[in-house]
Structure 1
Amino acid sequence: MHPDLDLKQLVAGAGDAIIVCDARGAIALWNRSSERIFGFTEAEALGQSLDLIVPQRQRERHWEGYHKTMATAVTKYGADVLRVPALHKDGRTLSIAFTVSMLFSNDQKVTGIVAIVRDETARFAELRDLRKRLVELESRNAEVAR
């Protein structure tokens, strides 16, 4: 490792949320961008379940996937971006995109997972509005063509 590389500074200064969870799904690391995106302080998040930010209607599916990933040590979201809803502390729904990496002990047992998360709420709303406008324009064009 480069002698000037300080991983704590890298994690603290990252523009994306960096969240580490243990094999049970308890939050073990919560950087400043996690606080900015989700509204929970590090003290509020550490040791808590990911249910803190997973919407109620998504929890069963989330935990099925999480436990399967912990059991198999395989995830397709290392390279593929997963886009899902999430919860902010104030109760509003966010649209997030993230990738994950598996964490292993020296004897190659899964110890947890790290997620790199980006808030795409504004981008998602803009895309939804553009799609709505496109449908309206196509509808008008169809009427004019008749």
Structure 2
Amino acid sequence: MQTTVDLEQLVSMIGDAVVVSDAAGKITLWNGAAGRIFGFTEDEALGQSLDLIIPQRLQQRHWDGYQKTMETGLTRYGNDVLKVPAVHKDGRSLSIAFTVALLHAENGALTGIVAVIRDETARFQEERNLRKRLAELEARVGA
């Protein structure tokens, strides 16, 4: 028996951020979890550039890759989980992990990219603290 899934409900209720951008990099879908993670409401995010959440120092690199993907229809990140810094509305840094998928029109033309994003800031900080503590302990033992 096949069940019908209400995709709109799925996207709105899922715990991970779902962000869709068009071929120019403008945000066309921003779910509630994206608002929770990044601090921008749907109204504030829709129609804006992805620069909204990309640290300034990484924007050029991001757009170089984005344009190449739009031109070629290929991404080298298809099945990989990407871990990168991001920016919250209040200016604080976030550590996010996400996957991407290319979106195509019925005629096959590339129309945009969807990213499913998880906030990994707390886990990243915890791992950093554990590595620091381990280094301190190793230094004591080796001294």
TM-score, structure 2 as length reference = 0.96
Task: Tell me the residue number matched to 1:135.
Answer: 135
Alignment of 1:1-146 (within 5 A): 2=2, 4-143=4-143
Larger radius of gyration: 1
Question: How many residues are paired up?
Answer: 142
Identity level (%):
63
- Could you tell me which amino acid in structure 1 is paired with residue 81 of structure 2? V
- Could you tell me which amino acid in structure 2 is paired with residue 82 of structure 1? L
**Local SS of the residue matching 1:80:** coil
Task: Report the alpha carbon displacement of residue 4 of structure 1 after superposing the two structures with TM.
Answer: 3.4
* Residue ranges of structure 2 left out of the alignment (5+ in a row): none
Task: Report the alpha carbon displacement of residue 71 of structure 1 after superposing the two structures with TM.
Answer: 1.1
- Could you tell me which amino acid in structure 1 is paired with residue 137 of structure 2? L
* Residue ranges of structure 1 left out of the alignment (5+ in a row): none
**Local SS of the residue matching 1:116:** strand
- Could you tell me which amino acid in structure 2 is paired with residue 108 of structure 1? G
Following the alignment from structure 1 to structure 2, what is the Cα–Cα distance between the partners of residues 65 and 126? 30
Task: Report the alpha carbon displacement of residue 3 of structure 1 after superposing the two structures with TM.
Answer: 5.2
**Local SS of the residue matching 1:54:** coil
**Displacement over 4 Å in runs of 4+:** none
**Local SS of the residue matching 1:69:** helix
Following the alignment from structure 1 to structure 2, what is the Cα–Cα distance between the partners of residues 22 and 89? 21
For the aligned residue pairs, the C-alpha RMSD in angstroms reads 0.9
